[in-house]
Structures are given as structure tokens and as C-alpha cells.
Amino acid sequence: MILFLDLMLFIVIALVLLSFITQVAIPWKNKTPLFPLLRKSETAEKIEEASEELEHVAELEQLAEMQEEINRRKAQLMKDEK
């Protein structure tokens, strides 16, 4: 039981040290923002912007199709009136 607790203590200390080194020490040395795991990457932001743009374009295409349908029906009605 004591061996298990010693092993668990060693693992917890190793994880805390590893987290500190990767999230604080290395970014601080490189003069980059701390806790990079908690920040959105530039790539993720670009993907999100592209996704929003794609949704907007899809909506515009749908509206254009609806406008074409309205114009077609309007032309049909005007043709039927004559």
C-alpha cells in the first residue's frame, strides 16, 4: 500500500512539473502567451471565420435560388394574364 501511494505521489508530482514546464516555463522563455492549451490557436480562429463565411455564402445562394423561383413564378403569372 505504501508503495502504491509513493508511486501515485511520484506520478502527481511528475504531471504537475510537466504541466508547469509546458504551460508556463517554455512559453515564458519564448516570450509567448502563457497557458497555450487554454488559448485558441490562429488556425482554429481562421477555421471558425471560414466556417461563418461559408454559412453566409450558403445562405446567399439559397436566397438567390428563392429569388429565381419568385421571378419564374412572376413571369408565369404575367404570361397567363395575357
Percentage of the residues of the chain whose pLDDT score is greater than 90: 63
Which pLDDT band, with edges at 50, 70 and 90, does 80 fall under? Answer: confident
Query: Torsions phi, psi of 35, nearest 5?
Result: 55, 60
User: What number is the average pLDDT over the span 40-50?
Assistant: 84
65 within 8 A of 58, measured Cβ to Cβ: no
Q: Count CB atoms within 10 A of the CB of residue 45.
A: 11
pLDDT at 59 over 80: yes
- Give me the chain's average pLDDT, please: 90
